[in-house]
Structure 1
Amino acid sequence: MQLQKEEIDQLERKFRLNLINSISGIKPANLIGTKSQSDQENVAIFSSVVHLGSNPAQLGFIMRPQTEIPRDTYPNILNSGFYTINHISESFIKKAHFTSAKLKRGDSEFERMKLEPEYLDNFFAPFVKESAVKIGMKYQESIPLPNGCLFVIGSVEIIHLPDHIINELGQVDLNGYAGVGISGLNSYYGLNKLATFPYVREEEIPDFE
């Protein structure tokens, strides 16, 4: 298949949606947990979390346009200033996926999907107890994107993860907790470590054939 921009624009809507969402490859699978000022807990799945820098430690993610009736995640982040990022494992893929449903405002995905909120170190926002890797975030800023989405930037405040999935270099072993990735909007893949290579210096580049 070969498609020019004009042909892409003319594709059937759902086909184009699935195609463009999946051609970027495997994306991280995370649940973002928030809580309102009235203590209403919410959690939603995101596949757009990215590393921004390690000093200071910052992560970002993309929020859909807020032009319609806003869902709970973004207002909760703005009002409280805190949220959590929680890795998804194979054991609760289905529950995590269904947090994408548009519930009535005020309904909790934790309750509907039978996920357990967990509070650690007096952090305001709830973590997902089932998750192996839990990250507490403090909201920094939102950058408007050309398509109406928002790029939300936060600082890493707390990290919780089992000792056995991190090595002496600080690298997290995604195999160690059966982490998963997302392709497109609704296809999930297991993650298997294939190799680890050294930091690349020009003089150490091998002779490839």
Structure 2
Amino acid sequence: MTTKVFSEQSILQMPQRMRANFINSLSGFKSANLIGTSSAKGELNLSIISSVFHVGAHPPLLGMIMRPHTVVRDTLENIKQTGMFTINHVHDGITKQAHQCSARYEPSENEFEEVGLTPQMSNMLPVPFVAESRIKLALEVEQVTVIELNKTELVIGRIVEAIVGNEFLLEDGYVDIEEAGSVAISCLDSYHNTERIDRFSYAKPNEKLVSIWEQDK
């Protein structure tokens, strides 16, 4: 294998789109999620996000990084106005519709209608799920922090409702996102199915790891 070395300076000198593709590829596979929000006026909004991550389990917290608020960003604005949002796993049957949500629609335009997805209101909050999603979460905002390095914003939400198909939930609480067809994103526009390698027992010093997938199925 031959390699190419990139210095920070050479990266910064790349054309903007090339640099964005390059850096977004380097972070590896990321989860693909649709973020559902509603404005203070009740206008529904849907956007595709690849920056959702686990923050903690007690309380149940998830975070996501939002791009700088230098232009109108309906999702972030709605989150700040209402203090709530939904996270909806993208599966392999709705990738085209999900990616279309990255288009810059006007605030008055309903992305659900524009891309052909169905809003399903949460039982707990006045905010829309994606009905077609197989794993969906409703969250209340706990904290929004501006990251001074690049003015992106870290949104941390607390899960108040989770909807998971029975066939994807194992007895020990493991959610089989592969069985649900949840997809991953690389770079900004490449969608991937996953293939599980294994699932292992809790790692302890001087103890042999055991594959637990077969016994949990």
Query: Does TM, scored on the shorter chain, surpass 0.5?
Result: yes
More deviation, 44-53/163-172: 163-172
Supply the AA of the counterpart residue of 2:36.
G
1:55-74 aligned at under 5 Å gives the runs: 55-68=58-71, 70-74=72-76
Structure 2: gaps of 5 or more residues: 210-217
Does structure 1 residue 30 correspond to structure 2 residue 24? no
Query: Counterpart of 1:53?
Result: 56
Aligned to 1:157: 160
**C-alpha displacement at 1:122, in angstroms?**
4.4
Structure 1 residues not aligned, in runs of 5+: none
Say whether the 8 Å CA contact 2:124–2:160 is kept in structure 1: no
Contact 1:72 1:106 in 2 (8 A): no
1:184 equivalent to 2:187? Answer yes
Task: State how far apart, in whole Å, the 2-side matches of 1:137 and 1:16 are.
Answer: 33
Partner SS, residue 101 of structure 1 = coil
| Structure 2 Cα separation of the partners of residues 13 and 187 of structure 1 | 18
Instruction: Tell me which stretches of 4 or more aligned residues in structure 1 moved more than 3 Å.
Output: none
Structure 1 equivalent of residue 88 of structure 2: 86
> Do the aligned residues in 1 keep the contact of 2:144 with 2:153 (CA within 8 Å)?
yes
User: 2:11 aligns to what?
Assistant: 8
Give the length in aligned residue pairs.
205
- 1:96-144 CA-to-partner distances (Å, cap 9, x unmatched) read 0010111112211111001100013142110000000000000111111
Residue in 1 that maps onto 2:79: 77
Q: Structure 2: how far apart are the matches of 1:178 and 1:149?
A: 30
Q: Which amino acid aligns with 1:193?
A: R
- Could you tell me which amino acid in structure 1 is paired with residue 96 of structure 2? K
How far 1:77 sits from its partner (Å)? 1.1
Residue 99 (structure 1) aligned to one of 98, 101, 109: 101
Whether the aligned pair in 1 keeps the contact of 2:34 and 2:90 (CA below 8 Å) is yes
Residue type of the alignment partner of 1:182: I
Q: Return the alpha-carbon distance in structure 1 between the equivalents of residues 124 and 8 of structure 2.
A: 50
Measured in 2, the distance between the counterparts of 1:48 and 1:205 equals 34
Aligned counterpart in structure 1 of residue 115 of structure 2, from 113, 118, 141: 113
How far did 1:13 drift?
2.3
For 1:120 and 1:81, locate their aligned partners in 2 and report how far apart those are by CA, in whole Å: 14
Q: CA RMSD in A?
A: 1.1
Between the aligned partners of 1:14 and 1:63, the Cα distance in structure 2 is 18
| DSSP 3-state at the match of 2:40 | coil
How far apart are the structure 2 equivalents of 1:178 and 1:201?
A: 31
The range that moved more, 45-54 or 191-200, is: 191-200
* CA offsets 1:63-100 (integer angstroms, 9 cap, x no match): 111122x2211121111111100000000100000101
1:200 alignment partner in structure 2: 203
Q: TM-score, normalised by structure 2?
A: 0.91
Q: Is residue 92–residue 193 contact of structure 2 (8 Å, CA) maintained in 1? A: yes
C-alpha deviation, 1:12, in angstroms: 2.5
